[in-house]
Amino acid sequence: MTRTPRIAILASAAFFAALAAAIAMAAGGGSHTSDVTGATAQFYNLSVAKHAGYGLLKDKQGIACIAMDSMPNMGAMGVHYAKPPLVGDGKIDPQTPEALVYAPAGKKLQLAAVEYVVIKAAWDAKHSTAPALFGHRFNSTPAGNRFGLPAYYSLHVWLFKHNPAGEFSMWNPEVHCK
């Protein structure tokens, strides 16, 4: 990569972090998730996310945009980009989510949510209760899931796209896959 594109990416990341901080302040600031918004706003630019090690996550059938096909009124999650070393580390860091969730918007993807994911066995080995962040307990997904992962805990936080089902809901009725 040449110096000019790297500088452009860094400048873009700084702009989006400042924008997210300004939006959080205008909306009342001090939100328990405002620090996460500022830390992850740089990932509005998908190339920045990829450069940071987040890669496209598909399910076992090769599907990238995750939707509840049997219940379309629930909406979808969207397209996940995950960072595998974070998923497997047994830790939760609010500033560094294991996955970024993008909503399809025409031919583009727009950052919609962050997702925290930890393998259940790794978490349970050091903790007596399921993980929780921002006052919300993580969902538990058993082994044999659509991603082929061992049992895991997860929590979606819809920081960048309104979710009428709630900021911490797994599915967003305003997100749709084609």
pLDDT in tens, 57-114: 999 999 999 998 777 788 999 999 999 999 989 999 999 999 999 999 999 999 999 9
Q: Give the number of domains in the chain.
A: 1
Kindly indicate the confidence band of residue 5, based on its pLDDT and cuts at 50, 70 and 90: low
Where is mean pLDDT largest: 32-36, 68-72, 144-148?
A: 144-148
What is the mean predicted confidence (pLDDT) over 141-161?
96
Q: Is the pLDDT of residue 124 over 60?
A: yes
Q: Is 82 exposed, middle or buried (0-12, 13-18, 19+ CB in 10 A)?
A: buried
Which residues have C-beta within 8 Å of that of residue 51, sequence separation ≥ 6? 9
The pTM assigned to this predicted structure is 0.81
* Residue 21 confidence (pLDDT): 39
* Residue 145 confidence (pLDDT): 94
The phi, psi pair for 165, rounded to 5°, reads -80, -10
Domain annotation covers residue 172:
no
Contact in structure between 101 and 156 (CB atoms under 8 Å) = yes
Q: What is the domain extent for residue 131?
A: 53-157
Coil vs helix vs strand at 171 = coil
Between CA 146 and CA 166 the distance in angstroms is: 24
**Residue 130 tokens, joined:** 């399921």
Q: Is the pLDDT of residue 45 over 60?
A: yes
Domain annotation covers residue 162:
no
What is the mean predicted confidence (pLDDT) over 128-147?
95
Coil vs helix vs strand at 109 = strand
